[in-house]
Each structure stands twice: as C-alpha cells, then as structure tokens.
Structure 1
Amino acid sequence: MEEHLTADFEEACFLVDLSNVVRRQDLGEPGLRSLRRLALVVDAAVALARDPDVKLYLVADRSLRLGGRHEFTDPADVRLLAKWVRTGLVEEVGDADERVLELCEMTGIPVITGDRYRGAREDFPFLQGNTDDFLEPVPGPGGTVRLVPLDMEVASPAQISRKSEEDVLKKQGLLDPRRRPRSEVVLRNWRCPDRRCTAYDTRKGSLVLLPRMHRGVPTCEQHGLELVDDGPRTATAQVKLLVDGRVKARFTLEDGSTVRIGRAPGDGGIALHGLLPGDLAARVSRGHVELRVAGGAVRAKDVSSFGTRWRATAGKSGPGPWHDLPQDASRDLRAGDELELTEGVVLVRSARRFPAELAQEWQRRTPPSGEEPEAVTRMY
C-alpha cells in the first residue's frame, strides 16, 4: 500500500480525505477506525485509473491519530499512521476538509471521500452542483470497494448554515454520540476565571466563543482553565444578508426583539446603506421589513414602499415560488426562508441555533440614523 502514497500532490492522481475513509464503517472490516479501508480504496483507485503505479495524496485531521487511537481496530495502525506523518506520506492538519478542498480547487485532482462538505459551501462555491471532482468509496462485491462519482448537489442556505454550525460544535467536542448538541453546555453562557479573558464574555466584543470540552469539562481555549457557568444563554435568531448571491453580513437578533431592516430605518433598526451599492440601495425603502423574534419563532412583515417578496426553503425540487409579503399581517420565517427586498438583495433566516455573533452587536456598530455612517456592520 505504501508504494501508492506520495508526499507530492503534483504527482498524485487522487486526493484522499483520509479521516473520512478510515472512519467509514460500511467499508471492509468492522470497527470504528481501520487503515484496512485505505488499502481497499487504493485497490479501487488502481482499478479505476487502470494504472498499477497510481499515486494518492493523503490529508488527515490531527484528531484522527491523536484523538482516537483507542478506536483503531489494530493498534499497529496508529504506529503506521504516525510513521506516514513523519515521512510526509500523510499531510496532517487541524482541519482536513479545508485543506482537501483547497488542493482540489487549485489542482483539479479528484477527491476520494464520502463527505458532502455542506458546511464549506460559502468558502468553496465550486462545491455547489459539482459532479466532476469527487469520488465516493462504496462497498463492492466480495468485500471490495468501488469508486463512484459523487454528486455534491446544490445545498440550500439552511443546510449550509446547519452543517457549518455542526462542524463547529464537533470541533469543540460539543456533539453527543448521536451527533446532537450537548444542550447542558451550549444552552449556557460561560466565563473564564481569568479576568483578562473576554473570549466568552457576552457583554464585551462582537463574538463569543463556544467552550471546548476537555475531559468532559468546558474549558477556556486560551488559558486552559475550567469555565464558570454564567447563566442561561439567551435565545437568538440569525438573519443573513445576500447581495447578488453572496453573504455580505449576518445579524443576530435577541428573543423578544422587534427590528426594522432597510436602507436607513432609524433608531434600533438595521441599516443596509453601507452594505449595498448605490443602485441597489436606491430600490430599498428606509424601513423595508420588520422582524419580530418570540419564543424562537421569527415573523416578518412588509413595511416598505416598494414591496417585499417571500419564498420558502429550497427543497429537493429547488426553491419554491415567490409570494408577496403582506403589509397588513406578518408571516413565519423558517430556517432557509428568503425575503427579497429588491432584485439582488435577499435576507435569509439562518439555520444556526448557536451563532457566535452576539445579539444586537450590529446595533452597537451602526449609527441610529443618517445615510453616511462612520462605521458599518461587521463584514464577513
């Protein structure tokens, strides 16, 4: 197997998301992690390329080797993996997904993986609808593996947001064995005992980190100290601003709040004038839509002079039809639903339940009135 691995991606025929392959329990022998699955993938790559000397470039999360050595079926796999890392046959990084996608986009070398990378769609737009660059290992006859083209499909904004948040929770150790958020941790605020630390402070800055679990205890990443429970986390909802299909800003709203969004909605509103080019800003009312957040639900109402359109979350058949948003009544805005203020300017309710952005941070950064702000909402 080792003769098919290379430390030079320029001579590789395939990139391999090693962490994904090693954990695929539907391939090869039983167990949580096994390098035998990589051997089966190498055989499949040789068959697909019709090249007995085919080369593969492997990328792995650091946690594959260091965080789960007890999960390998054969303890010798851990020693072999460590050797490959030392000799450069495995590129070991903190986040393999980002590196694999970076190499794929840069080189065009196909990736062997079972991951759909939904959480990476905003950073790597080439993933949307891609049917050319990814191969999935699937069980073949007699315990073999086949490589089949992987259709990445077009993920909806809600799917992207939900998967992005899940990826963050996973990295922080905040998903339980059934891949659900550990509610006893994420539904609380936390405080570092070091008074200089503001990483988890909901009263300062613009972002608040989720705690990292270390030996079952919420821990400060900067100081390594056990965090102190600082009370229940306030419920929030997040809305994204898309301009010509790209995310320009995110606004996190606190439960119980009512907020107007428009070109320059005045005190307590979200001003978009600094985020839109002049031609688009001119077609957005000063106060265009009103959002009310209550009990985790978001209701939207048109308050504009130009009108607002609404459509439901994109499903398997694509986005639903546009409907006029009424001015005399409000309607529920579910995760992924879109509000079109004018062509090219869309508000989307994010599916994130635990955004890092502090609620109402946009209010501290955006002046209450006027068309030319000195500072505008934080850009992403």
Structure 2
Amino acid sequence: MNITAFAQYAGVSKAAVSRYFNGGYLSAEKRAQIAAAVEATGYRPSMQAQMLRTRRTRQIEVIMPRLSSESCARMVEGISRVLDDQNYQLLLINTANDNTREVRALDTLRHDTVDGIILIATMFTPEHHAVLQSLHVPVVIVGQQYPGFSCVFHDDFGAAQAATAHMLQKGRRKPGYLGVTLLDKAVGLALDDGFDYYAPQSFAAADGRRIQFGWMGMPDADYTNPTVEYGWQHCLTLPRVLTQDGNGCLLQVPAAELNALRGEARQPADGETVETDPCFDLTASPAGDFVLTIANGLTLTYTEADRTCTLRFTDAAIAAGRTERKAVLDAPCRSLRVVGDASSLEIFLNDGATVLSTRYYPAAGKVAVQLCGAGSTLYSLSI
C-alpha cells in the first residue's frame, strides 16, 4: 500500500498523512482518523521513498572501539534512547580497537549514507584527520577533544587535579598512577604533555619542608626503550619544595637554597636578547601573552586567550628527540621562573602550580635568552 492508497482508505489528504508521520500539526480528529487507519492496515511510509524525497535517512552511525567496554556500552545505550525518542535509527559499528577499521568505517560514510556520525574515539592518526576532513555529514566526537569538530569529552586535566588534591588533603603522600598507551591522546599523550618527568620521590626535611626530587629525560619516542636511539639522557631535577595553595592545588618551587647560588641580577628589557651562562635563573611577572626563546632553538609560548603554554623545540640539534610539550593553566600566567643548566630546563608557572621539565643540549658557551611580552630578571648560577 502506497501513500495515495492509504490516504484514500483513511479519508484524508496525502499531506495530512505526511504531517502525521513527520510530527506536523493535525487536528485531533484527523490524527485519530489516521491512527485508526494505521491500526487497521499496518501501513508505514517507505523509508526508501522518504530518503529519495528528503535526502535524509533518519539513521545515525555510531562507531565504537569495543563492544565489551562498559563505558562504551553505557554511552551507546544513552545515545540509542535519545535517537529513539527522535525517531532515528542507530547503526552500530564495532572497530575492536583497530585504527584501520575505524578509518575505513568513516570513509564508507563519506557520501551521505547516514544523517550523522557519532565517533566514540580513542586516538587519532593522520588518516583519521584526512577522512574526517572529507566527510559531508555532521560528526560528533565523544570522549576526545579534537580541534575543528563538535566534541563531548571529560575534563581529564581537572579530574586528575581534583583527585590528586583530594589525596593530598587526606594526608596521602605517595599516590600511584596507572596510565595507558601514549597513542591515546585524551588519557595517554595529553596527560603526558609537559611532563618530561618521572619517578618522583619526596621526603620530610628536618625543618618540616616536604622536598621532592624526580628524574627527567624522556624524548618523544617509544617508551619501551627510548635510550637505544637517543642515548642515556636521564638526570635529577632540582630539589623542589612541595606545598599547597588555598584550593588544595599542589605547588612545586625550587628550594630556597638555590637563591644563594645566584650571581648579580640583570634586568633585560622586554624583547631584549642577552647572553648568559648555561646555568641561569630567570624570573618574570607577565601580564599577558609572551614568548621566551632560549639558545635560538627552543621557545616557550604562552597564550592568554586559552591559558596554554607550549614548549616547542625548533632546532633538532638541541632537542635530541623532543618536539613539543604543552600545558593548560588553571589561571592566567602571572609568574614565570626558568632554571637552566647546560642540559636541562625546569619551568615554573604561577608559583609552581604548573611545571615543565625537559632536557636540551645547546652548543657549548653562552646561551642566548630573549623574553618578548614582559621584562625579566636574570641571574647566572654557580652550579
């Protein structure tokens, strides 16, 4: 039975039938008349005909990484409930954590075979980026933040900070962390960004301070054995004093004993390039965007609009396998301290609320330092 025959049977116009099945306005009398005819005949509109007429399928593709994942299953259940309420069908693809299958599924849907795609994402590759850019249907990414697309994701940074602050408030001093592969951008790589730092150990000093040391040295390489390609690069950090601010946020600052090793203070103007000893201590109080360049091959860029600090290596010769580190600050950056020696940098932002640590290998001799966006105070260090 087609729509013409059904309309004749129900005693209404084809337009009224169309409004009934598409949720349009109808008088109560006509709605009841059509409902009775549907009950009697079992009539349903042809989905193929609707697709040809409206160029809409009323189908949403959901691509999920693993059927056995409880969190994914719960997300799909919620998605299904909402789609059902809106008279949409859910089509499900399980990729079994296979990147190739995920990209292939996206590529299959490039030409409007569904009305939209919900991608429950775990990681992104260049192939993902290419196929996402080529899609002509709306895409919503769930579980990851990916620039240029609508995303629904957890605040992993905020959650990690809140959990750590809670443990510290409860008196815990040796938290453990179980992570995932760095291919996972949300809970692997993103949590590692900015933290070329590992295996920290702390102790209570005689004067009551909590002092922490850690190791730094990991390049951007396979973590199974990164030293094979780049050689041993590990070294201890400065001793850091651990405290908390009024909100329970962990603060790390160099131990005050370091100040006694400072030489004469110099005060470079905003944008002035100065040469200093390889071991130096720089402090500044920025009021907005700034760019710090060190040894003509490493930049620290702060953007006030999104409170993002990016440490980027621009000279492979001093990077030794590193490319970029990034951290998003909880508050605008109003204090900066950089302590360097001949092969490492420790960068303390907002009185140590955020810390970036990295190895770098400038040429022997003096190191050029330039801060654009703020004046600074620069000391050489006798270490």
Using the size of structure 2 for normalisation, the TM-score is 0.30
Q: Which has the larger radius of gyration?
A: 2
